[in-house]
Amino acid sequence: MAITLIAAVLVGVTGGILAWLGGALVANAIIVGGSSFAGTVLLILAIAYFLIGEKS
For the chain, first and last CA: distance in Å? 21
Rounded to 5°, the CA angle 48-18-35 comes to 40
Residue 24 is predicted with a pLDDT of 92
Residue 17 is predicted with a pLDDT of 96
What pTM did the predictor assign?
0.85
Residue 56 is predicted with a pLDDT of 60
From residue 4, alpha-carbon distances to 11, 19, 24, 30, 38 in Å are 11, 22, 27, 20, 11
Domain extents in the chain: 2-52
Residue 54 is predicted with a pLDDT of 75
Residue 12 is predicted with a pLDDT of 96
Rounded distance between C-alpha atoms, residue 48 and residue 19, angstroms: 29
Nearest alpha-carbon partner for 35 in 56, 19, 53, 55: 19
Q: Mean pLDDT per segment of 10 residues, for the chain of length 56 residues? A: 94 96 95 96 94 79
